[in-house]
Amino acid sequence: MSTPNDGTASTPAFRYTPQLANEIERSWQKYWVDNGTFNAPNPVGDLATDQPLPEDKLFVQDMFPYPSGAGLHVGHPLGYIATDVYARYNRMLGRNVLHTLGYDSFGLPAEQYAIQTGTHPRTTTMANIENMRRQLDALGLGHDRRRSVATTDPEFYRWTQWIFLQIYNSWFDGEQQKARPIDELIAQLEAGTRTTKDGSDYRELSDIGKQQAVDEFRLVYRSNSMVNWCPGLGTVLANEEVTSDGRSERGNFPVFRKNLSQWMMRITAYSDRLIDDLELLDWPEKVKSMQRNWIGRSRGAEVDFSALGRTIRVFTTRPDTLFGASYMVLAPEHELVDELVAAGTGSYEGVDKQWTYGAATPAEAVEAYRASIAAKSDIERQENKEKTGVFLGVHATNPVNGAQIPVFIADYVLTGYGTGAIMAVPAHDERDYEFATVFGLPIIEVVSGGDIGEAAWTGDGTLVNSANTQGLDINGLNKAEAIERTIAWLVAEGRGTEKIQYKLRDWLFARQRYWGEPFPVVYDEQGLAHALPDSMLPVELPEVADYQPVSFDPEDADSEPQPPLAKAKEWVEVELDLGDGPKTYFRDTNVMPQWAGSSWYQLRYVDPNNSEKFVDLENERYWTGPRFDGDCGGVDLYVGGVEHAVLHLLYARFWHKVLFDLGHVSSVEPYRRLYNQGYIQAYAYTDARGVYVPAEEVEEKDGKFFWQGEEVNQEYGKMGKSLKNAVAPDDICDNYGADTLRVYEMSMGPLDTSRPWATKDVVGAQRFLQRLWRLVVDEETGDVLTGDLPLTDEDNKQLHRTVEGVREDYANLRVNTVVAKLIEYVNYLTKTYPGAVPAAAVEPLIVMTAPVAPHIAEELWKRLGHTGTVTFVDFPTVDEKWLVDDEIELPVQINGKVRARVNVPADADQDTIIARALEEPNVAAHLEGKNLIKQIVVPGRMVNLVVK
Ligand code: ANZ
């Protein structure tokens, strides 16, 4: 790559060339490290100092990276540079600023690599971290290095395990709406003031029974849950890893839906608080609404239908439509299905063929239907497609009117949501409408206002056909009134209750992998789980012979997962004394999901070396505690991609709330303010086979693109190694300098929008910095050019206007417009002062530039005769007096048409303004030979003349 200014012989000796930029950058980066410039002091502990702590502080954080082997491309640091700029700006306002960066270093890629090559994931991970650190350091990010963490460090994950135990040893008190220590629950159970979940008396249970009863309350529990089990790979897969025909994306093996006992976290207990506390957060509205939808709180009713002496309970958000229910559907996995089929006639005699799934009896149809959907994920089951289902040969009674309606199973009804059974109202629900159309079921209108000839009417309207002889008449009511009235009737009759339902599911918290946090839990010989005491933490990952989970015959659906840790036999079986003498225990062979470390890492930044606590409360309160009454506290600014809107940010909020309830933190929320940055995108090119070709080798001719003579196809989107369009920050730093890269990335556009990378435009940023350099340094001699000259009024106006705008822009993360304003001011000074420039005009400029281009700013600051770093120099302030415009421009209208514009002093009186207007040649021309009959001055707006 060549640059227009690469320091050849003709280049002046003291020009700001890439070589000089690199020298300056390396020397200041060393200075910062040697002087601990960005080390932020804590109130207490090893990072405390004897200096008084600034009251005013700021905690800025980036979503930390996974240390990938591919290293960084120029898109990655966009957010990191932005937060660095913001942090640096705030230091200049006198704030104590905490900014660091850690690594989210557990995860699958290092493990996959280990499986292929036998290299320990730790080796790969450490090497990748090393490489990323080097790349990031070259950008001049002002991080407190002492606070950097890696989630894979046993000293870090010891506390992840500790937090797991805090959650494990808690239960959620529904009345107080908060987590409480499990011991307080046990005390209540023992006193008889509370019964077990199934209503029995705890005191009468056996020891094992007692433990099981307590386990059912814990915020971490074991539960049978449906998973995608892939025997061929020996692992459970996420829905996203399963193809639409029910096979593993990797390896193309069959995947089976299987019930497995797994660790779960009871995040659903916090559903209301997670929704309600969104109000406290300064987050993008889009992210808040994504969280609301994800939690999916809906108000409705549970209604009891009956069939063959059994109660089928449904959940509905539309109890007002009960009279329109023309059939019922159970999830194929519903526990009543087999019972109902067995109790029914067992025959399909006289039943419409469409309803029988081609089977001879309901029992056979159910079996065949279940087999056909076994491999489908919930998402696929809810997809829009032709509805399928099977009639159970059974009818149910509608509780409002006694109607006998057929009962089906169908995959569009999910197990695990609501009650797993629905009443179907085809006239007013889309999915039911489609199903009823396929199966020829009645469509009964009960809400008027729509045309149900083509589709369901889901809007509001007046209720019709909705009255019974037992005192329920909702005809003529609107939806809300009808819901209210129906629920009251159901409750009075004992046929239903009001119900708030959530979409949020508990968090499946176990993975059958190697490279994750081991669980701090062991099992005794009876298989009962025991939490380890804090003194046994961390439970470190053992060495294993290979990292592959035990795999099975790909078709063997009955096999059970055996994670790689199961191979570490000596680690698994241990003798421990858990308070009742040494016994043999077995360790859990699962590991935690990758979300674990990121659910609390910000708290470790606050107190990274504390060996007594995960974070000292005093340090936590200083950095993230509430600042005023009703403030939720948390990190002041969290910057990252919108792709983490739900999972990561929901898990982090959940853990934080548990820690808050237990008194370990003073803040209610982890992240007070969230900002989603856009992405740097790039062009990518594919050849005729659709294979990516190196983007930097592609040439453009007449709007077409060619690679090695062959025409290629241009696409626009992500930047990445696999797309062969990644640009490494290292190259840009080498060829232009880190400050140039920073200025370029910051000036590409507003931070929250995506922007295309264009290496050819980088030079624009470089030229700006060269002009800045030339204001201070004589390129030929290296002498400092500034002088002790007074500022003119115009200089003051330009300066203060710039300061005002730049302050506001920095404060609002609008660094692109900061750069625009700095460029304008540099251009003004360059034009105004061909020779020596007043130091008083340049010094504030250097300070204002420092957050975006810190190395050159440090260097120029030094050359202007200052010692030490510019990091903590006060940011220039605005003198209002220079902001008022002392001249204003007014349009002059004659009979309603603008004929001229005049500049007058802002405080000029009417006569002066009229006199100035009449002097204008074009005005005089239009007045010639006419009578001026009216002259009006609208202050600050215009001059109006009327002539005849
Ligand atoms: C009757 C009805 C009539 C319904 C109507 C809707 C409209 P949200 O808002 O998402 O909570 N439903 C209930 N449980 C279900 C399950 N396990 N699988 C699939 N669908 C289920 O949706 C609640 C509605 O989704 C419920 O209200 C039920 O259909 C359906 F005009 O009941 B409704």
CATH 2.60.40.10 fits 886-947, yes or no: no
Q: How far is the CA of 434 from the centre of ligand 1 (A)?
A: 14
Closest ligand 1 atom to 427 CA = 31
Is the CB of 423 inside a 6 Å radius of any atom of ligand 1?
yes
Is the CB of 456 inside a 6 Å radius of any atom of ligand 1?
no
Is the CB of 398 inside a 6 Å radius of any atom of ligand 1?
no
CA–CA distances in Å: residue 777 to residues 26, 832, 859: 20, 16, 11
Domain boundaries, given as residue ranges, for the chain: 1-35+736-884, 162-286+507-595, 298-501, 886-947
Q: How far is the CA of 60 from the centre of ligand 1 (A)?
A: 43
Q: How far is the CA of 435 from the centre of ligand 1 (A)?
A: 14
Give the SS3 label for residue 772: helix
Closest ligand 1 atom to 417 CA = 17
Query: Which residue's CA lies nearest to atom 26 of ligand 1?
Result: 316
Helix (H) or strand (E) holding 923: helix 921-927
The pLDDT tens digits for 178-223 are: 999 999 999 999 999 999 999 999 999 999 999 999 999 999 999 8
Query: Which residue's CA lies nearest to atom 27 of ligand 1?
Result: 316
Query: Which residue's CA lies nearest to atom 19 of ligand 1?
Result: 413
Contact call for residues 341 and 425 (beta carbons, < 8 A): no
- Domain 298-501, CATH among 3.30.420.40, 3.10.20.30, 3.40.50.300, 3.90.740.10: 3.90.740.10
pLDDT at res. 384? 66
Question: Which residue in 824, 841, 857 sits closest to 790, CA to CA?
Answer: 841
Alpha carbons 349 and 361: distance in angstroms, whole number: 9
Is the CB of 429 inside a 6 Å radius of any atom of ligand 1?
yes
Alpha carbons 340 and 393: distance in angstroms, whole number: 9
Q: What residues form DSSP beta bridges with 705?
A: 700, 712
pLDDT at res. 258? 87
The pLDDT tens digits for 533-561 are: 999 999 999 999 889 888 899 999 899 88
Is the CB of 319 inside a 6 Å radius of any atom of ligand 1?
no
Closest ligand 1 atom to 325 CA = 1
Query: Which residue's CA lies nearest to atom 22 of ligand 1?
Result: 317
Q: How far is the CA of 487 from the centre of ligand 1 (A)?
A: 16
Q: How far is the CA of 295 from the centre of ligand 1 (A)?
A: 16
Is the CB of 417 inside a 6 Å radius of any atom of ligand 1?
yes
Q: DSSP of 10-47, one letter per residue?
A: TS-TTS--HHHHHHHHHHHHHHHHHHTTTPPPBSSSTT
The pLDDT tens digits for 855-893 are: 999 999 999 999 999 999 999 999 999 998 778 889 999
Give the torsion sign (CA, 787, 788, 790, 794).
positive
Listed in sequence order, the DSSP H helices in 777-873 are 793-811, 815-832, 839-849, 854-863
236: buried, middle or exposed (CB in 10 Å: 19+, 13-18, 0-12)? buried
Say if residue 246's pLDDT is above 60: yes
Contact call for residues 536 and 333 (beta carbons, < 8 A): no
Say if residue 815's pLDDT is above 90: yes
Tell me the one-letter amino acid at 899. R
Instruction: Spell out a b/e string for 423-453, using b for 16 or more CB atoms within 10 Å of the CB, else e.
Output: bbbbbbbebbbbbbeebebebbbbbeebebe
Is the CB of 420 inside a 6 Å radius of any atom of ligand 1?
yes
The pLDDT tens digits for 766-803 are: 999 999 999 999 999 999 999 999 999 999 999 999 99
Question: Which residue in 565, 525, 503 sits closest to 121, CA to CA?
Answer: 565
Contact call for residues 274 and 650 (beta carbons, < 8 A): yes
Say if residue 4's pLDDT is above 50: no
Is the CB of 502 inside a 6 Å radius of any atom of ligand 1?
no
Is the CB of 486 inside a 6 Å radius of any atom of ligand 1?
no
Say if residue 379's pLDDT is above 80: no
Q: How far is the CA of 317 from the centre of ligand 1 (A)?
A: 6
Question: Which residue in 664, 634, 635, 670 sits closest to 651, CA to CA?
Answer: 670
Tell me the one-letter amino acid at 302. E
**Using N-to-C axis directions, what is the helix angle for 18-35 and 729-736, rounded to 10°?**
110
Q: What residues form DSSP beta bridges with 178?
A: 173
Q: How far is the CA of 327 from the centre of ligand 1 (A)?
A: 13
Say if residue 305's pLDDT is above 60: yes
pLDDT at res. 824? 98
The CATH code of domain 1-35+736-884 reads 1.10.730.10
pLDDT at res. 525? 92
Q: What residues form DSSP beta bridges with 224?
A: 261
Is the CB of 707 inside a 6 Å radius of any atom of ligand 1?
no
Contact call for residues 68 and 29 (beta carbons, < 8 A): no
The pLDDT tens digits for 318-347 are: 999 999 999 999 999 999 999 999 999 999
Question: Which residue in 730, 567, 627 sits closest to 234, CA to CA?
Answer: 567
Alpha carbons 58 and 701: distance in angstroms, whole number: 51
Q: How far is the CA of 431 from the centre of ligand 1 (A)?
A: 9
Give the SS3 label for residue 293: helix
Of 302, 422, 479, 500, the residue with max ligand 1 atoms within 8 A of its CB, to mutate for a pocket test, comes to 422
Q: How far is the CA of 378 from the centre of ligand 1 (A)?
A: 15
pTM of the shown model: 0.84
Cis peptide before 538 (omega within 30 of 0): yes
pLDDT at res. 817? 98
The pLDDT tens digits for 435-490 are: 999 999 999 999 998 888 889 999 999 999 999 999 999 999 999 999 999 999 99
Alpha carbons 636 and 58: distance in angstroms, whole number: 6
pLDDT at res. 548? 86
Q: Whole-number mean pLDDT of the chain?
A: 94
Q: How many other C-beta atoms lie within 10 A of the C-beta of residue 933?
A: 9
pLDDT classification of 9: cutoffs 50, 70, 90: low
Structure tokens at 349: 């005699």
Question: Which residue in 879, 808, 873 sits closest to 846, CA to CA?
Answer: 873
Of 294, 299, 302, 317, the residue with max ligand 1 atoms within 8 A of its CB, to mutate for a pocket test, comes to 317
Alpha carbons 440 and 459: distance in angstroms, whole number: 23
Cis peptide before 564 (omega within 30 of 0): no
Alpha carbons 421 and 397: distance in angstroms, whole number: 14
Beta strand 57-62 pairing with 96-99: parallel
Q: How far is the CA of 296 from the centre of ligand 1 (A)?
A: 12
The pLDDT tens digits for 86-122 are: 999 999 999 999 999 999 999 888 998 898 899 999 9
Of 429, 465, 498, the residue with max ligand 1 atoms within 8 A of its CB, to mutate for a pocket test, comes to 429
**Using N-to-C axis directions, what is the helix angle for 854-863 and 762-776, rounded to 10°?**
10
Is the CB of 544 inside a 6 Å radius of any atom of ligand 1?
no
Beta strand 327-330 pairing with 256-265: unpaired
The pLDDT tens digits for 816-851 are: 999 999 999 999 999 999 989 999 999 999 999 999
Stretch 504-513: mean pLDDT, rounded? 90
Say if residue 735's pLDDT is above 50: yes
Closest ligand 1 atom to 331 CA = 17
The pLDDT tens digits for 894-920 are: 999 999 999 888 888 899 999 999 999
Q: How far is the CA of 399 from the centre of ligand 1 (A)?
A: 18
Query: Which residue's CA lies nearest to atom 21 of ligand 1?
Result: 413
Asked if residue 721 belongs to a known ligand binding site, the reply is yes
Instruction: Spell out a b/e string for 72-81, using b for 16 or more CB atoms within 10 Å of the CB, else e.
Output: bbbbbbbbbb
pLDDT at res. 210? 94
The terminus-to-terminus CA distance of the chain in angstroms comes to 71
Is the CB of 317 inside a 6 Å radius of any atom of ligand 1?
yes
Q: What are the residues whose beta carbons fall under 8 Å from the beta carbon of 606, sequence distance 6 or more? A: 42, 59, 98, 147, 615, 619, 620, 623, 624
Q: DSSP of 884-929, one letter per residue?
A: S-SEEEEEEEETTEEEEEEEEETT--HHHHHHHHHHSHHHHHHHTT
Note the Cα 339 to chain centre separation in Å.
44
Q: How far is the CA of 363 from the centre of ligand 1 (A)?
A: 26
Query: Which residue is listed with tokens 């993008």?
Result: 284
The pLDDT tens digits for 141-190 are: 999 999 999 999 999 999 999 999 999 999 999 999 999 999 999 999 99
Stretch 64-74: mean pLDDT, rounded? 92
Is the CB of 428 inside a 6 Å radius of any atom of ligand 1?
yes
